[in-house]
Amino acid sequence: MSRFLNFDTLSLHAGQTVDPEHGARAAPIYQTTSYVFPDTDTASSIFNLERGGHAYSRITNPTVGVLEQRIAALEDGSAAVCTSSGMAATFCAIIAILSQGDHIVASTQMYGGNISLMKNTLPRFGITTSFVDPTDTDGFRNAIQDNTKLIYGELIGNPGLDILDLEAIAKIGSDHHVPFMVDATFNTPYLCRCFDYGANMTIHSVTKWMGGHGAAIGGVVVDGGNFDWGATDKYPTITEPYAPFSGINLWEEFGPSAFATRIRAEAMRDIGPSMSPMNAFLLLQGIETLSLRMDKHLSNTMELLDYLSDHEQVSWVNHPSLPSHSSHDLARKYLPKGAGSIVSFGVEGGREAGKAFIENVELASHLANVGDAKTLIIHPATTTHSRIDADALAAAGITEDMVRLSVGLEDVTDIKADFENGFRAAKRLAKL
Amino acid sequence: MYFDVDGKQVFATTGGKPFDKDRPAVLFLHGSGLDHTFWGLHSRFFAFRNYAVLVPDLPGHTNSEGPALTSIEAMADWLNDVVVALDARDISLVAHSQGCLMALEFASRYPGHVRSISFVASGLATPVNDVLLDAAENNPDAAIAMMLGWGFGSAGQLHQGPIPGNSMVAGGRKVMRGNTPTALVTDLKACNAYDNGKQAAAKIACPVQVIVAGKDRMVPARATAELIEHLNEPVVTVIAKSGHMLPQEAPDQCRSLLQAFIFSNNPAT
């Protein structure tokens, strides 16, 4: 091989060395807590970050390592660290560079867990957040304070589906020496590689489209390796000596993977939200078919957008692929293959009609997840976003009649037929 | 750490321990368009085994003030200025690719403090083809792709790496992109122009080792054979499955070879 490999090839092969002992083609599941050291010098040098290697599966594991390197390859990141969930990834990434007294500028349109983390949990540790409408790019610049250490957003906002202007926001971050972290769960690297547009780190809940099967929870932080931590003294966790590892200076020693190394050396060691080897194996099986699945997600989504847009029981439909969407131009720029497979729509008749729709479909599963191979629906105002207040609900673009649809891989004719049952029930309710 | 050489700031990592001029030194030299991070899996090892470690960024590379130096001879003179500035003594040079040409020239010009030299993935000369030179000048991303494509073996192309979770090839790309538009092309031109290897090798009297990458596509086997032929009794080892970026692709094997050679020829108590 003498050239860079393409996306589909990396999805199948990146990060894996074929098992030298038995020749196993699939990545083996290293279901072990710990690893036998050949001698004391090797042991001490692994612990002292002098060399690569595994010591304890809370920190690294060979099966998890394959997944990490595969995702780093797909994202064109310098390094990746997998975690037990997407929320763990977000938390670990934030605490790697922020401490008491620091500040985040974040989008209002994010998964409810992210909003709750920044609005309720992080303030307990002295980290505050200013929330900004993702369509108001200047708002990000205006919200930056002297103590701002991070800009955070979801490329495709949840559930309003507004698209972040990656290049413009990355420029704001660069102007202020503030890194730009993007939750890229909804797009996956197949639809958009955020580092190509100036983002500095990405977060994924790999539970979703990356895995695709809904069988394993997991998260990942990917280090873009493109932020100059040394250009400012604002990030001492990266650029100052780190006492637990003999005063190592991560920026000096690890350069483009300094941020990922901090997560590994601190969060995985001191907090321990590690991914299990079994989950890593399951997620690897999903990633092997990522592009095939995403193409089918997108084609089904386009067919359902036509169907819903023409349906008399649907009061409105929201998706960035629709010319009526406020982010349509940004979607065409950053997501040329398609703007993901989440659709939100309103059922004619309001909250009760929406409830009737959800309770009368059978193929579509009513549950709190997205990005499964199976079609999923939910009512965000009473579930995923129920723990945020009315103002935040409004800021996130969530209405009482909103149904969030995660389009699956079923035959789209069957999805439509299933929805007809739901719409008939909603219509019957309206006639009562 | 930062220090001044000829009024310009130079950055070097010291492997996590302060540079102690009274200890034997191991001085690592990176290749074209790269920086100190290339030696991360080796420098820290020696620093924690009683050596004074220095891994400088060449002028105009990553953290060191520019401009980049335009000839191997100028790099050798600059390296001597670094050694003088830090009062480094009893030096083991460890060099990769372009760094090997620097080491050859430095050791032939300033032999006084050099105790050993380890040449990794090197030839007596490093001619650069016109396509790469043109790309480095006019399309740096293409040049980087060529160098990383040829430089790493299959493990690199598959984003494998010795540090769990890290991609060697993506990390290399980030570093090299940071060293464009000028440093990479300046380095390659300097390599291409260097033709004093034979004379320099003849002047080297200290112990030398040559670590050869069996799948090296950046340095022709003929050029490596010439280096071995003109050095005085080199210790030669071939790591069969590694590509040109051997210190990153096969760090454990490389480190073991360096350890045995340097511990023996320049011991630190």
A window 38-57, beta carbon within 8 A of B? 45, 48-54
The answer to whether residues A88 and A235 belong to one domain is yes
Q: How far apart are CA B69 and CA A30, in angstroms?
A: 48
pLDDT given at position A20? 86
A to B CB pairs, distance under 8 Å: 145
The answer to whether residues A188 and A322 belong to one domain is no
pLDDT given at position B181? 83
C-beta separation of B120 from B246 below 8 A: yes
The answer to whether residues A203 and A295 belong to one domain is no
How many domains does chain A divide into? 2
Mean pLDDT for chain A? 94
CATH number reported for the structural domain that contains residue A272 in this entry: 3.40.640.10
**pLDDT at A2 > cutoff 60:** no
Residues in chain A with CB shorter than 8 Å from the CB of B155 are 17
**pLDDT at A247 > cutoff 70:** yes
The answer to whether residues A157 and A36 belong to one domain is yes
Q: Which helix (H) or strand (E) holds A377?
A: strand A376-378
| Residue in chain A nearest B218 by alpha carbon | A2
Shortest CB distance from B165 goes to which of A48, A72, A225? A72
**Spacing of C-alpha A124 from chain mean position:** 24
The answer to whether residues A168 and A264 belong to one domain is yes
Is the residue at A370 inside a domain? yes
CATH 3.40.50.1820 fits B2-126+194-265, yes or no: yes
The answer to whether residues A169 and A189 belong to one domain is yes
Residues in chain B with CB shorter than 8 Å from the CB of A93 are none
Is the residue at A282 inside a domain? yes
DSSP letter (8 states) at residue A323 = T
In the block, tokens 């010291």 appear at: B14
Q: How far apart are CA A414 and CA A406, in angstroms?
A: 15
In the block, tokens 């090892």 appear at: B45
Residues in chain B with CB shorter than 8 Å from the CB of A5 are 157-158
**pLDDT interval class at A432 (50, 70, 90):** low
**pLDDT at A383 > cutoff 90:** no
The two beta strands, B208-213 and B114-120, are: parallel
Q: How many Cβ atoms from other residues are within 10 Å of residue B6's Cβ?
A: 12
pLDDT given at position A388? 66
Q: Position B161: which residue type?
A: G
ipTM of the complex: 0.93
Is the residue at A5 inside a domain? no
Which residues of B have a CB under 8 Å from any CB of A?
13, 15-17, 35-37, 40-41, 43-45, 48, 62-63, 145, 148-150, 154-155, 157-167, 169-171, 173-175, 177, 217, 251-252, 255
Which residue, B153, B96, B154, is CA-closest to B123? Answer: B96
Domain extent for A307: 290-431
Token pair for residue A365?
């599963």
Is the residue at A2 inside a domain? no
Burial of A36: CB neighbours in 10 Å, binned 0-12, 13-18, 19+: exposed
Shortest CB distance from B13 goes to which of A73, A80, A252? A252
Residues in chain A with CB shorter than 8 Å from the CB of B16 are 245-249, 253
- The reply to whether residue B155 touches residue A81, judged by beta carbons under 8 angstroms, is no
Is the residue at A21 inside a domain? yes
pLDDT given at position B203? 96
The pLDDT > 70 percentage for chain A reads 97
pLDDT given at position A80? 98
| Residue in chain B nearest A60 by alpha carbon | B164
pLDDT given at position B97? 96
Q: What is the average pLDDT across A297-303?
A: 98
Q: What is the average pLDDT across A290-310?
A: 98
C-beta separation of A76 from B177 below 8 A: no
Is the residue at A3 inside a domain? no
| Alpha carbon of A220: minimum distance to chain B alpha carbons (Å) | 10
**pLDDT at A368 > cutoff 90:** no
Cis peptide before A159 (omega within 30 of 0): yes
Shortest CB distance from A78 goes to which of B15, B166, B217? B166
pLDDT given at position A3? 64
Residues in chain B with CB shorter than 8 Å from the CB of A256 are 37, 170-171, 174-175
- The reply to whether residue A252 touches residue B252, judged by beta carbons under 8 angstroms, is no
Chosen from B36, B152, B159 to mutate, greatest number of chain A CBs within 10 A = B159
Residues in chain A with CB shorter than 8 Å from the CB of B13 are 249, 252-253
The answer to whether residues A224 and A317 belong to one domain is no
**pLDDT at A390 > cutoff 90:** no
pLDDT given at position B180? 80
* DSSP 3-state of A100: coil
Q: Position A277: which residue type?
A: P
Distances from the Cα of A159 to the Cα of A111, A114, A341, A394, B209, angstroms: 7, 13, 12, 11, 61
The answer to whether residues A277 and A162 belong to one domain is yes
The answer to whether residues A280 and A344 belong to one domain is no
pLDDT tens-digit series, residues B227-238? 999 999 999 999
DSSP letter (8 states) at residue A27 = P
**Helices (H) then strands (E): counts for chain A:** 17, 12
The answer to whether residues A230 and A305 belong to one domain is no
The answer to whether residues A268 and A326 belong to one domain is no
Is the residue at A384 inside a domain? yes
- The reply to whether residue B160 touches residue A17, judged by beta carbons under 8 angstroms, is yes
- The reply to whether residue B165 touches residue A248, judged by beta carbons under 8 angstroms, is no
- The reply to whether residue A3 touches residue B145, judged by beta carbons under 8 angstroms, is yes
Shortest CB distance from B40 goes to which of A68, A82, A253? A253
Domain residue spans of chain B: 2-126+194-265
A window 404-423, beta carbon within 8 A of B? none
pLDDT given at position B108? 97
pLDDT given at position B78? 98
CATH number reported for the structural domain that contains residue A378 in this entry: 3.90.1150.10
Is the residue at A153 inside a domain? yes
The answer to whether residues A192 and A297 belong to one domain is no
Q: In this complex, is the C-beta atom of A295 within 8 Å of any C-beta atom belonging to chain B?
A: no
Residues in chain B with CB shorter than 8 Å from the CB of A254 are 37, 40
**pLDDT interval class at A19 (50, 70, 90):** confident
Token pair for residue B88?
């480094």
pLDDT given at position B57? 97
Ordered per-residue pLDDT tens for chain B, 269 residues: 999 999 999 999 999 999 999 999 999 999 999 999 999 999 999 999 999 999 999 999 999 999 999 999 999 999 999 999 999 999 999 999 999 999 999 999 999 989 999 999 999 999 999 999 999 999 999 999 999 988 988 888 899 888 999 999 999 999 999 888 889 999 999 999 999 999 999 999 999 999 999 999 999 899 999 999 999 999 999 999 899 999 999 999 999 999 999 999 999 97
pLDDT given at position B155? 81
Shortest CB distance from B45 goes to which of A10, A45, A230? A45
**pLDDT at A256 > cutoff 60:** yes
| Residue in chain A nearest B169 by alpha carbon | A78
pLDDT given at position A379? 83
Residues in chain B with CB shorter than 8 Å from the CB of A13 are 158
How big is the CA angle at A164 (ends A200 and A78), to the nearest 5 degrees? 20
